[in-house]
Structure 1
Amino acid sequence: MKPLLYLTSVMCVLLGSFSQAKSQTPDNPVYVRSIGIQAGTQGVGVTFSVPFQNHLALRAGAAFLPFDTDVLKTYNNYKTTNDITARMSNIHLLVDWTPFDANDNFGKHFAISGGMGYFFKAKGTFVTKLTEPYQYGEIEIAPEDIGVLTSSIDWEFSLAPYLGLGLQNFNLGPKLGLDLNLGAYYLDKPNVRIVGTNLLDGNEANAKLVEDNVDKYRFLPVVQLSLSYKIK
């Protein structure tokens, strides 16, 4: 809970300070105080942006990703069904910088973003089972006798740095703006757990191998569209 309390405290202090500051943006600024909704690879959520210089803005938000799917795969000529469930939720605090904001053209919307996210929910679960009997010599073993293999990958309660690029605050009207952000979080090393039932019992030892393999893929890509409402 300490990282969550720390990040929340920083967000509250910075947002409170910047909300009291007068914006120094020009007549047609890139950044304006706004609140909005977002959707993309990290799920759906809310976002709040406050400018504090001509070319800088503080952006805070929260994102929630529920994901469920079934995948049919074949291993060693045996068909399996894989139930995949992912739950990822985070709060994030980012600083957006527009290096070309002085130009009154398309380039003024280009932004570089950096900050941190706190993942209070970040877990994937894979449940694998055969869809047909297993043939062992002349013996046929039913799928329910083989058992079920459940693998879980967990990044919960971790801080992750973020770096990205974006095109921000395209005017859609007097009060509406559109942002496109591309970037990635660098996640902590995950915890992996494998549990097997029946004849698959004893696969727990493979968790370390899976954990080492997953450790090579710690970047979580982000492609996010945000629709914002400008507030004074």
Structure 2
Amino acid sequence: MKTSLSLLLIVGCVFVSSITKAQQTGTWLKDGEPGNPLFRNQVGFTVGTQGLGAEVGIPLSTRFNLRLGASLLPWETTEISKFNSSRDYKTDIDVDVMNLRAMLDWQPFPTAGGFFNRMALSVGGAYFYKAKGTAKAQLTENYVYGDLVFTPEEVGVVTGSADWTGWAPYAGLGWHNIRIVDTFNIGFDLGAFYLGKPDVKMGATNMLSGNDVRNEPILRDNLKDYKWLPNFSINLKFNY
């Protein structure tokens, strides 16, 4: 918590100093369309692989830009599958991702044509307050063994989770401030967050107890290479 508060204070200081510097900067690099530099003071919404979010942009100079944002991705689904090709079981999947992020954009081709003039390289990072996926599996019908009949609840439930909560660096590229009409514009980002190895846990109840102990190392090994979170987002913003 103290680390998070320190980050927010630092970001706040950068935010204030950035606005001051932007106000003092009177000369912008043009791309052939007067009054339309790549980086402007902006506020808007984002939608993509991180879910829905909001973002503000503060130009630091003609070629550097700071973006601060947050995204939320809650997602739930239920799948029905076969166990041993004979019995149906359902799996409830719950994914919950939320992050706060800061990005520094750099315009590499300020004198290029329109397509490359709108391009920027980005580096930064995010703190994922939530980045967890959970799966819960249970039979959908009674289990019959000879003359014995067991309900799905008596058989038990198997759960598994993978948690990537924490800090994640980011690198990518994007196209920004593509004018739609007046001061409204669209942009795109493509990159990836490095999350590292997830914290994997399994659990099992009733007759399935013990399966978690045997299968947790297998699940951990299967997920050890899932360290990257791809990011593709569409940004709708307003210049002010």
TM-score, L = length of structure 2: 0.89
> Is the aligned partner of 1:112 residue 2:121?
yes
Spell out, residue by residue over 1:99-154, the C-alpha distance to the aligned partner (whole angstroms, 9 max, x if none). 11222422111221110100011111111011234454675543222111121222
- What corresponds to 1:203 in structure 2? 211
- 1:85 is aligned with what amino acid? D
Q: How high is the sequence identity, in percent, across the aligned residues?
A: 35
Spell out, residue by residue over 1:19-64, the C-alpha distance to the aligned partner (whole angstroms, 9 max, x if none). 1003442243111010111111101111011111222111110001
Spell out, residue by residue over 1:53-96, the C-alpha distance to the aligned partner (whole angstroms, 9 max, x if none). 22211111000111011112223213221111111100000111
In the TM superposition, what are the counterparts of 1:50-69 in structure 2 within 5 Å?
50-69=58-77
Counterpart pick for 2:235 among 218, 226, 231? 226
> Is the aligned partner of 1:129 residue 2:132?
no
Structure 1: state its 5+ residue gaps: none
> Is the aligned partner of 1:71 residue 2:94?
no
Residues 1:213 and 1:3: Cα distance change in structure 2 (over 3 Å): farther
- What corresponds to 2:20 in structure 1? 20
- What corresponds to 2:201 in structure 1? 193
Query: Secondary structure at the residue paired with 1:172?
Result: strand
Residues 1:54 and 1:196: Cα distance change in structure 2 (over 3 Å): same
CA drift at 1:193: 1.7
Alignment RMSD, CA only? 1.8
- What corresponds to 1:4 in structure 2? 4
User: Could you tell me whether the CA contact under 8 Å between 1:3 and 1:159 is conserved in 2?
Assistant: no
- What corresponds to 2:190 in structure 1? 182
Query: Secondary structure at the residue paired with 1:31?
Result: coil
- 1:90 is aligned with what amino acid? N
User: Could you tell me whether the CA contact under 8 Å between 1:159 and 1:188 is conserved in 2?
Assistant: no
- 2:182 is aligned with what amino acid? P
Structure 2: state its 5+ residue gaps: 31-35
- In 2: Cα distance, 1:209 partner to 1:176 partner: 50
- 2:11 is aligned with what amino acid? M
- In 2: Cα distance, 1:54 partner to 1:85 partner: 43
Query: Secondary structure at the residue paired with 2:60?
Result: strand
User: Could you tell me whether the CA contact under 8 Å between 1:134 and 1:143 is conserved in 2?
Assistant: yes
**How many residues matched?**
230
CA drift at 1:2: 3.5
CA drift at 1:171: 0.4
> Is the aligned partner of 1:47 residue 2:47?
no
User: Could you tell me whether the CA contact under 8 Å between 1:42 and 1:64 is conserved in 2?
Assistant: yes
- What corresponds to 2:91 in structure 1? 82
Query: Secondary structure at the residue paired with 1:123?
Result: strand
